[in-house]
Structure 1
């Protein structure tokens, strides 16, 4: 096992952070095909299905908080809606790493989370909807037919935390509140659809659990295992590429705090931490370690060590993204995330993938 070094102090007030990132050599291995169905079954029953149920429950709570706010607008009920939004973001961030299956049908993923909004198109649509009352955005039945950018978490965040959101604490914010309630109801609808799709006995869950020549998705165990490995690798890549590098690529002077996900609500690092914890949970609960030969099983524990370290550091970063760049100690933590998120990808793709005789097919495009 690699000898772990420590990051030198970058300032007098910064605690040492371990440098985990280093190039990893692919490990040659073979897949234990007998274990694949049980691993896939645990991924479905112990991670995916509970994850979507949790998201749906939090969407229901979000809708309730919005209804309470609309019925009795005040600073207190607005705080309640803010807290419900943070819980909803965390629930989604844990399960959003699964970017395969029913969530891709009917653009469900984008309906829940349209990000990144590179040209600000979605933001403009939400602002336009708020500028001029439109009853079609205050009902879930009509809202669901609108642009995907107007009906998910990004839109709800702007309703609750964007320009003029303070009016929600008064009767002046009635229309804005109704729009937010419709978004929450739409998220509950989408969560219920995803839960139903994964709960169906003859649906996608059955395909995950029973790879074989008659399976519409996975013709053999290797294809099924590669799908699960791909979920993990691409989740790690998204954390680095669309969550961290979206606003910070290593030069604080060129940082773009307002490009960070959930920056308005202060949920950027709560979401990133939940992404990482979701990845760790899927790796652990699925029991992918069982697909490795006994001599290669330390790959999973070393990978989890890197992910756990990333989660610990991410959870310790200030919620205000802009304020992070005023503190050298906080910047050092961002640098840690940037460096070691790449190491996590390599360990999953090369070490875990190589250990079971597979690779997720991910190609590193940034060249660093």
Structure 2
């Protein structure tokens, strides 16, 4: 894929810094999607072994964590094929403030007809991805059912297998769609197109997605459980992402490390090199410093997020992290966009 893109660009002498960055970024995204697909297939295999051979539930649980980590690394990409068919929601339905995942899963388990892959693939996005798998593998009432000999255990295994099969198929389709030569050529060609708050190009796609992801981390992944999105402003640990598996803080860390990988990648033309080409290396330094601040604050929280938000002793650390995330987002919205000469326009996640 990377070779093909370089051929599309022509000789290196005629390749702009923006084209070099987008070419390298496209290869990075492709690798991320391939990793997600590979992990999804392994999850499907581990689930089948668990259901057929009655293996330890911790084996598919661990593979679920690896698959979720692969998703969190590439979750920031909110452009291209993944948004065309709600595929991001098919991979993970969240936020889920009304516990819709549990309600939809229970509805499928209680239906008289057999649970099939086709049935799940044609069902709501709510039951097609990692959130539904997390419910079945980590939520105690469902875990208890797996040890029983009743019909529910068999139904849960049928559903778990159907969901992971669908997930593997969906992630495989996303890889193929990203590799599509026509899409790649069009996305790369957009680098040279005029950009404003309404019409995007590949560079504004990428930077806009970075901002959207970091706003999601601040507003939803941290602000939600802190209570900042509630009318009563009361914390609620069950609003954290991955509360059943206690993966919430791990997810935020992976999201931050993904931003770090975009800014600095010693093996490819990264965002730092693009900024350096424009005489704005100081922005790259400030971006990395902000990331380091967030990672350091995150490391001080030694309890699952669902518990930490409910304990007054952790409040200041969490609020410090919230403010630090806001500083990183402000840097992206103001200094980074200005340095790259782009206008992101309105962001639906803006605000506190």
Instruction: Report the TM-score when normalising by structure 1.
Output: 0.80
Deviations 1:46-74 (A, max 9, x none): x2001001101110111111011101225
Moved more, 327-336 or 237-246: 327-336
Question: What is the distance in 1 between the residues matched to 2:341 and 2:50?
Answer: 54
Aligned-partner SS, 1:264: coil
The count of aligned residue pairs is: 327
Greater share of residues in helix: 2
1:110 touches 1:149 (CA, 8 Å); kept in 2? yes
Q: Deviations over 1:56-110 (max 9, x none)?
A: 1110111111011101225xx2011111111111110110110111111221111
Q: Distance in 2 between matches of 1:96 and 1:365?
A: 15
Residue 54 (1) aligns with residue 35 (2): yes
Paired position in structure 2 for 1:258: 238
Relative distance call for 1:294 and 1:358 in structure 2 (3 A) is closer
Pairing 1:1-368 to 2, within 5 Å after superposition: 34-45=16-27, 47-74=28-55, 77-132=56-111, 134-136=113-115, 139-162=116-139, 163-172=141-150, 173-200=153-180, 202-211=181-190, 223-249=201-227, 254-285=234-265, 287-292=270-275, 295-318=279-302, 320-325=304-309, 327-328=311-312, 330-362=314-346
Check conservation: 2:74, 2:258, Cα contact below 8 A.
yes
Provide closer, same or farther for how the CA distance between residues 134 and 364 of structure 1 changes in structure 2, counting only shifts above 3 A.
closer
CA contact (8 A) 2:195 2:343 kept: no
8 Å CA contact retained: 1:266, 1:320: yes
Shift of 1:229: 1.3
In 1, are the aligned partners of 2:264 and 2:270 still within 8 Å (CA)? yes
- Distance between the aligned counterparts of 1:155 and 1:367, measured in 2? 30
Q: Quick check: 1:310–1:337 contact (8 Å CA) kept in 2?
A: yes
Give the C-alpha shift of residue 142 in structure 1. 2.2
Distance in structure 1 (CA, Å) of the matches to 2:113 and 2:16: 57
Q: Is the 8 A contact 2:191 2:201 kept in 1?
A: no
Q: Is the 1:58–1:84 Cα contact (8 Å) retained in structure 2?
A: yes
Summarize the Cα distance change of 1:212–1:320 in structure 2 as closer, same or farther, 3 Å threshold: closer
Q: In structure 2, do the counterparts of structure 1 residues 192 and 219 end up closer, same or farther at CA, with 3 Å as the change threshold?
A: farther
* Alpha-carbon shift at residue 326 of structure 1 (Å): 5.5
Distance 1:235 1:347 in 2: 14
- Mark the runs of 5 or more structure 2 residues left unpaired by the alignment: 1-14
Instruction: Using the TM superposition, give the Cα deviation of residue 307 of structure 1 relative to its aligned residue in structure 2, in angstroms.
Output: 1.6
Q: Residues 184 and 229 from structure 1, CA distance in 2 versus in 1: closer, same or farther, beyond 3 angstroms?
A: same
Q: Per-residue CA shift, 1:182-217, capped at 9, x if unaligned?
A: 1111111111011111122x232222333368xxxx
Note the residue ranges of structure 1 that are not aligned, 5 or more in a row.
Answer: 1-32
Distance 2:350 2:30 in 1: 34
**Shift, 1:312, TM fit:** 3.9
Change (3 A) 1:191 1:316: farther
